[in-house]
Structure 1
């Protein structure tokens, strides 16, 4: 069995940045946040008081990023394929915020913009794009 290490997550973060930094399409206003949201989840896994069920939700969202053929695969759709990944990430961060609050989560946020505003933007915009596929995404990772 192979386990991902912290450096593997950082390497994947670099891949995300590389894949998304040049995207200038219709959804750039929120797709650009994908790597930072991914990093927030990986970093928050280290929070010592994180509850077990929430670790599973975070792990599901992280795993969704690395699954090659998810609901909207990046290998087929390019940067547009990250919209479902961003949706599941924002979905899980909203759950974490309900439990721990955005103040604590902001301590793990590397972004310059307000975390709560970013999460709501990403959640609403990705949900608008995905429409009825949101339940498919949540079901895919076992969160529905």
Structure 2
């Protein structure tokens, strides 16, 4: 196996979600790019350590096999909780750095703030009281 045979986790997310056409596709499709924004922003040299921990928690949540809504059981729907925690953390980052600055790390074509708010609100609607479970799982509350 060569280095070229290995996929970046972002590529795995894109592959897992690119053909999803279900009820929540309007925001699930943004998951990979939101994940990438967090991963890329983690490299920002002036990032405060408490924010690094929040970002790391959100990134790690993507790879936990049996989280609140596991992908292995629910398929693409299992990414709804991952997208929630990602949008939750990006909103915290936006409070500190602003969406304009975060947009430098955003590879999406849509407005970052609109995407984050859509993903946050829609995932909260689906998760309801499970949002607390997600935040507790990663130690953010």
Using structure 2 for the length normalisation, give the TM-score. Answer: 0.95
Using structure 1 for the length normalisation, give the TM-score. Answer: 0.93
Alignment partner for residue 83 of structure 1, among 76, 80, 83? Answer: 80
Alignment partner for residue 56 of structure 1, among 53, 57, 63? Answer: 53
Runs of at least 5 residues in structure 1 that lack an aligned partner in the other structure: 1-7
Alpha-carbon distance between aligned partners in 1 of 2:44 and 2:16, rounded to the nearest angstrom: 28
Q: Is 1:24–2:13 an aligned residue pair?
A: no
**Runs of 4+ with >4 A deviation:** none
Q: Does the residue aligned with 2:39 lie in a helix, a strand or coil?
A: helix
Deviation at residue 17 of structure 1 after TM alignment: 0.2
Deviation at residue 143 of structure 1 after TM alignment: 0.3
Q: Deviations over 1:25-48 (max 9, x none)?
A: 000000000000000000001111
Deviation at residue 124 of structure 1 after TM alignment: 0.0
Deviation at residue 92 of structure 1 after TM alignment: 0.1
Runs of at least 5 residues in structure 2 that lack an aligned partner in the other structure: 1-5
Alpha-carbon distance between aligned partners in 2 of 1:113 and 1:133, rounded to the nearest angstrom: 28
Deviation at residue 90 of structure 1 after TM alignment: 0.1
Q: Does the residue aligned with 1:26 lie in a helix, a strand or coil?
A: coil
CA-based RMSD of the aligned residues comes to 0.9
Alpha-carbon distance between aligned partners in 2 of 1:70 and 1:136, rounded to the nearest angstrom: 9
Q: Is 1:33–2:27 an aligned residue pair?
A: no
Alignment partner for residue 62 of structure 2, among 50, 65, 69? Answer: 65
Structure 2 residue aligned with 1:4: none
Alignment partner for residue 46 of structure 1, among 24, 43, 47? Answer: 43
